[in-house]
Amino acid sequence: MLKLRQLQKQKQEQLAASSKPTTASSPPQISSASQLRLRNDLASLDLPPCVKIDAAALETDQLLHIHINPDEGYYKSGTFDFEAKFKDTYPIDPPKVTLTSTIFHPNIDTQGNVCLNILREDWSPVLDVHSIIIGLLMLLLEPNATDPLNKKAADVLQSSPALYQRQVVSAMRGESIDGCKYDRVLR
Amino acid sequence: MADPATSVLVLGAGGLGCEILKNLALQGIPTIHVVDLDTIELSNLNRQFLFQKQDIGQPKAVVAAQRINSKQLLGFGERPVHVTAHFQDLTSFSDTFLEQFTLVVSGLDSVAARRAINAQLVRITLESGFQKCIPLVDGGSDGLQGHCKVIVPGIAACYECSLATLPPETESYPLCTVANNPRLPEHVIEYLLSVQWMQEYPDQPFDHTRDEHFQWLMRRSLERAARFHIDSSKLTASFVLGVIKNIVPSVASTNAIVAAQCCNQVSKLLYNEYDFEGSNNFLVYNGQDGCFMYGFVYDRSTECLVCRENT
C-alpha cells in the first residue's frame, strides 16, 4: 500500500498548502446518505406559489407533507395534502406517496393511492422531491382518463368534461357521489 | 512481500463472502475479520460452501470463521491465518474499529448497507485530512451479472458517486395496470400487498412469515387471478414467496468470478501494483451473453453528497 500512502501524503500537503485552512464550519454530523440527499433535495427546491411543504417530520419519521392548492383546472381552490414516506433506500427507491383526503380523480383512488408513473415503474435515482411535486401538480391540473385507477371518474371525464367538473366541485364541497362520501377540501 | 500487519475486513459471509474469505485466506492474509448478521438457511448450502447441513440456524460469520480457521493456513511472515467473526449489523461499527483495517472487501446484497459503509469510510478519510484512507473493494452479484468497484475514499469515485447508475432494487408495475388491468400473476400479488391488505387490515403490516398472512395472500391471489382470467398454474407457494421476497437466482459461478476479481484488486492494492491515477476502478461482468468483462474509469462526481470536499 506504499503508493496509496504516498498519495495520501500529497493530499495532506495540498490541504496544508491551501490558503483556506480546513474550515471547521460544519460540525461533524453523522447522517445517512439518504438523509443527506433529502436535505439537498429540499434545499434546491423551487416551488410554484400553489405548493407548500412541511418537513417537520422529515428527520424523525422520514415523512414529508406536500400541500397543493391548484390555481387553475378542475381542482382549482381545493387544498390537497399529500404524504410522502421515504425509506433509507432513497433515492434508489421512490417514496410512497398517498393523498390524505378522499378525492374524485381518475388517477387517485378513494383510499389515496396515487397512480403516477415516476412514483413506480419510471422512478430513477436522478429524480428528486422537486420532480415528485411537479408530477403531483400535473396530476391535479390534467387528470388522465386513459389507464385509470378510479374507473368511474375516468368514464365521466371521458364522456362529459362538463359533468366531470360539476362532480369534482361537489366532491370538493364534501358531498357524496354514487354513495361515496368525499372530504371537504374547499376553504 | 506484503506487510504481515495487513488486516482485511470482509463484509458479508454469503455467496460472495464465502468465496472472498476462501481467496483471502489462501492468499495468506494473516488477519481477517468477517461480519454478517444472517443465519444459515438450507437454501444457502448449494453455493455457500463453508456451511454444511448441521450448521443451519447458526450465524454465518461464526461458522465461516471456524471453517477457515480449522484449515490452519499459514499467511505472510509465517503468521497463521486467523478469521475473527462478528455476528452483527455492520452499520454499528465504530470509526476506531474500522480504522484498524488495511482495506475492506464487501460481498453484500443490499444497497443500503453499501451506502452506509461507503459514507463512513469516506468520512474517516476526509475528517482525518487524509491521515487515514481505507480502500473499499465492493463486489456485487445478481444472477449472471456482477460488478467490482474499487473505492479509494477521497481519491477515486465513491459508491455514492455512481448511485444514479443503479437500477431500482425492486421491480414495480404501474398502479393502474395492477388495479384495473392485471395481466400477470405478479400484478395480482402486487395489488393484494400494496392496496388490498391495507384496506382489510389497516393496523397491521403484512408479514409473510406468519402463516395466516401468507394463506390470506395465496387464497386471495387465486381468487383475483380467476376474476381477471389470469393463468393461475404459476401461483404456487414458492412462486408467491419468490415474488414477495424479490428473490433473484444466485449463481455460484458468478459469485466465484466476481469474488476472484475483487481479490485480484486486493492483491494489486497490497503489492503496489494498483495505479491510483489510471486503473479501471469499475469492472462489470456479464455472463448472460458469453462471458464478458469490461473495466472503465468512473470519475468522482463533483456533486457527490458523500465525498465532496468542502474546501
CATH fold of B175-245 reads: Arc Repressor Mutant, subunit A (1.10.10)
Class for the domain spanning A31-181: alpha beta
Instruction: Please give the mean pLDDT across all residues of chain B.
Output: 92
Per-residue buried b or exposed e for B261-296, using 16+ beta carbons within 10 Å of the residue's own CB: bbbbbbebbbeeebebeebebbbbbebeeeeeeeee
In this structure, which amino acid lies at residue A61? D
- E strands, A73-175, are 80-85, 96-99
Q: For chain A, which residues make up each domain, given as ranges?
A: 31-181
Given the residues A115, A118, A134, A138, select the one marked as catalytic. Answer: A115
- Report residue B119 as a C-alpha cell: 459514507
Q: Do A93 and B170 touch (CB under 8 A)?
A: yes
- Known active-site residue B262: no
**A137-181 pLDDT tens trace:** 999 999 999 888 898 999 999 999 999 999 999 999 999 988 889
Q: Are B141 and B260 in contact (CB under 8 A)?
A: no
Q: Do A11 and B130 touch (CB under 8 A)?
A: yes
Give yes or no for residue B36 having a pLDDT over 50: yes
CB-closest option in B112, B133, B172 to A89: B112
Give yes or no for residue B85 having a pLDDT over 90: yes
Q: Are B102 and B6 in contact (CB under 8 A)?
A: yes
Class for the domain spanning B7-168+249-296: alpha beta
Residue A35 has a pLDDT of 86
Q: Are B27 and B4 in contact (CB under 8 A)?
A: no
Q: Is the dihedral of CA A126, A129, A135, A138 positive or negative?
A: negative
In degrees, rounded to 5, the angle at the alpha carbon of residue B93 between the alpha carbons of residues B274 and B268 is 10
How many Cβ pairs within 8 Å bridge chains A and B? 115
In degrees, rounded to 5, the angle at the alpha carbon of residue A94 between the alpha carbons of residues A92 and A100 is 160
Q: Do A32 and B163 touch (CB under 8 A)?
A: no
Cβ-based contacts of B133 with chain A (< 8 Å): 4, 7-8
Mean pLDDT of B100-111: 94
CB-closest option in B111, B133, B175 to A120: B175
Interface check for B166 against chain A (CB to CB < 8 A): the answer is: yes
CA distance B159 to chain A (A): 11
CB-closest option in A33, A111, A148 to B180: A148
Q: Do A149 and B177 touch (CB under 8 A)?
A: no
Per-residue buried b or exposed e for B61-78, using 16+ beta carbons within 10 Å of the residue's own CB: bbbbbebbbeeebebbee
CB-based burial label for B206 (10 Å; 0-12, 13-18, 19+): middle
Distance CA B181, CA B228 (A): 8
With cut-offs at 50, 70 and 90, classify the pLDDT of residue A30. low
- Report residue A184 as a C-alpha cell: 371537504
Cβ-based contacts of A149 with chain B (< 8 Å): 175-176, 179-180
Q: For chain B, which residues make up each domain, given as ranges?
A: 7-168+249-296, 175-245
- Report residue A103 as a C-alpha cell: 378525492
**A74-130 pLDDT tens trace:** 999 999 999 999 988 888 889 999 999 999 999 999 989 999 999 988 998 889 999
Distance CA B15, CA B8 (A): 18
CA distance B197 to chain A (A): 12
Residue A27 has a pLDDT of 46
Cβ-based contacts of B179 with chain A (< 8 Å): 109, 113, 115, 149
> What is the ipTM metric for this complex?
0.77
Tell me if domain B7-168+249-296 and domain B175-245 are identical in fold: no
Interface check for B180 against chain A (CB to CB < 8 A): the answer is: yes
